[in-house]
Amino acid sequence: MKENLHQKRFQKNPIKGTKFTIAISSAKGGVGKSTFATNLAIALKQIGCKVGLLDADIYGPSLPKLFSIKGKPESDGQNLKPILKYDIQCMSIGFLTDEQTPMIWRGPMVTSAIKTFAQKVLWRDLDFIIVDMPPGTGDTQLTFSQEIIMDGVIIISTPQEIALQDVKRGIKMFDKLKVNIIGLIDNMSHFTGDDGKKYPIFGEGGVKKTAEEFQKEFLGEIPINPDVGKQGDMGVPIVESKPDHEISKIYLGLAKKIKSTYL
Ligand SMILES: Nc1ncnc2c1ncn2[C@@H]1O[C@H](COP(=O)(O)OP(=O)(O)OP(=O)(O)O)[C@@H](O)[C@H]1O
Ligand SMILES: [Mg+2]
């Protein structure tokens, strides 16, 4: 058993072309992982880092829409060239398929697609690759944790009890797989009305409490703001289109923290 574990560790591969690989995860769907991954990548770029963005959601890729990318990546038959958008090197299964064609793949095919993305994409001179994970605790999370070197994972949650339940499962999975959890983000923490009052629509304080319970760092809150969704739908994330927006400032703060931790 122990030998097996040693062997597994030995078999781990770093993604070539980057110094660090950071995943954005949450066991729950729809909590804002892709929104966070894209905006954090842009914030890191804005403070001078060289960034790649790997959309690891094989069944529901978001990057083509969130970055408004319509082209196909070039290939030399062996490797794929990432598509450059907003000065970020991007890769997504969505670049290779039709927008409305569902991916009907079994687990082993997903695992092999993930490995291809990690090993056969010509990422160049990056400081960070930000990986946008699919929801759940499935094949993609396992492949990344066991076979690819991940330097850290940021866990996103919304404050509802039902989301937190899944987050706890996610934390336990990464702990078990010995992946470093950088911290937890409370996304859509509250809405500030025209009256200036804060409305905690999905509940209050749950993500911070969960972080404390599992002795993880609480990285902060991102409020609900309609501009976030609007900009995502337009294919120009808020940090790119409105760098002075209060939401963009939160992302810039987080990017600075990550940069100073790793570089
Ligand atoms: N802070 C926010 N304020 C307002 N809307 C937000 C915020 N964060 C995310 N959203 C919106 O919530 C929706 C879900 O976000 P997103 O697609 O990023 O979630 P996800 O966790 O990646 O979902 P999936 O699990 O399906 O991959 C999107 O419409 C997005 O614009
Ligand atoms: Mg997503």
* Structural domain harbouring 134: 18-262
The answer to the question of residue 38 being in a domain is: yes
pLDDT of residue 146: 87
Taking phi first (over 0 means left), then psi (-120 to 50 degrees means alpha), and beta for anything else, what does residue 167 get?
alpha
The model's confidence at residue 137, banded by pLDDT at 50, 70 and 90, is confident
The model's confidence at residue 35, banded by pLDDT at 50, 70 and 90, is very high
Calculate the average pLDDT of the chain: 92
Take residue 145 and report the two structure tokens written for it.
């944790």
Q: What is the CA radius of gyration of the chain?
A: 18
Is it the case that residue 1 has pLDDT exceeding 60?
A: no
pLDDT of residue 9: 46
Nearest ligand 1 atom, CA 31: 21
Is it the case that residue 7 has pLDDT exceeding 70?
A: no
Is it the case that residue 103 has pLDDT exceeding 80?
A: no
The model's confidence at residue 177, banded by pLDDT at 50, 70 and 90, is very high
Using the mean position of ligand 2's atoms as its centre, give its distance from the Cα of residue 36 in Å. 9
pLDDT of residue 2: 47
Using the mean position of ligand 2's atoms as its centre, give its distance from the Cα of residue 81 in Å. 22
State if residue 232 touches ligand 1 by the CB under 6 angstroms criterion. yes
State if residue 82 touches ligand 1 by the CB under 6 angstroms criterion. no
Q: Which run of H or of E encompasses 120?
A: none
**Rounded to 5°, angle at Cα 103 from 99 and 106:** 170
Average pLDDT over residues 90-117: 86
- Considering its fold, how many domains does the chain have in total? 1
User: Is the separation of the CB atoms in 252 and 222 below 8 Å?
Assistant: no
User: What residues have a C-beta under 5 A from ligand 2, the ion?
Assistant: 33-34, 62
Taking phi first (over 0 means left), then psi (-120 to 50 degrees means alpha), and beta for anything else, what does residue 217 get?
beta
Q: Return the closest-CA partner of residue 251 out of 53, 56, 54, 41.
A: 41
Using the mean position of ligand 1's atoms as its centre, give its distance from the Cα of residue 47 in Å. 24
Q: Which run of H or of E encompasses 65?
A: helix 63-66
Using the mean position of ligand 1's atoms as its centre, give its distance from the Cα of residue 8 in Å. 34
Using the mean position of ligand 1's atoms as its centre, give its distance from the Cα of residue 11 in Å. 34
The model's confidence at residue 6, banded by pLDDT at 50, 70 and 90, is very low
pLDDT of residue 136: 87
Average pLDDT over residues 158-182: 93
The answer to the question of residue 22 being in a domain is: yes
State if residue 159 touches ligand 1 by the CB under 6 angstroms criterion. no
Nearest ligand 1 atom, CA 233: 31
The model's confidence at residue 110, banded by pLDDT at 50, 70 and 90, is confident
State if residue 237 touches ligand 1 by the CB under 6 angstroms criterion. no
The model's confidence at residue 11, banded by pLDDT at 50, 70 and 90, is low
Is it the case that residue 161 has pLDDT exceeding 90?
A: no
| Ligand index nearest the alpha carbon of residue 202 | 1
| Ligand index nearest the alpha carbon of residue 31 | 1
Q: Domain of 191: which CATH number?
A: 3.40.50.300
The residue with greater pLDDT, 228 or 59, is 228
Whose C-alpha lies nearest to ligand 1, atom 11? 229
Average pLDDT over residues 130-159: 92
The answer to the question of residue 2 being in a domain is: no
The answer to the question of residue 5 being in a domain is: no
The answer to the question of residue 8 being in a domain is: no
Mutate to test the pocket of ligand 1, among 24, 35, 222, 251 (most ligand atoms within 8 A of CB): 35
Take residue 154 and report the two structure tokens written for it.
């940021």
pLDDT of residue 226: 96
154-188: b (≥16 Cβ within 10 Å) or e: bbbbbbbeebbebbeebbebbeeeebebbbbbbbb
The answer to the question of residue 233 being in a domain is: yes
Is it the case that residue 165 has pLDDT exceeding 80?
A: yes
Percent of the chain with pLDDT over 90: 75
**Rounded to 5°, angle at Cα 38 from 142 and 247:** 125
Tell me how crowded residue 141 is: count the other CB atoms within 10 A of its CB.
Answer: 25
Rounded CA separation 146/150 (Å): 9
Nearest ligand 1 atom, CA 226: 4
Average pLDDT over residues 23-29: 93
The answer to the question of residue 55 being in a domain is: yes
The answer to the question of residue 11 being in a domain is: no
Whose C-alpha lies nearest to ligand 1, atom 19? 32
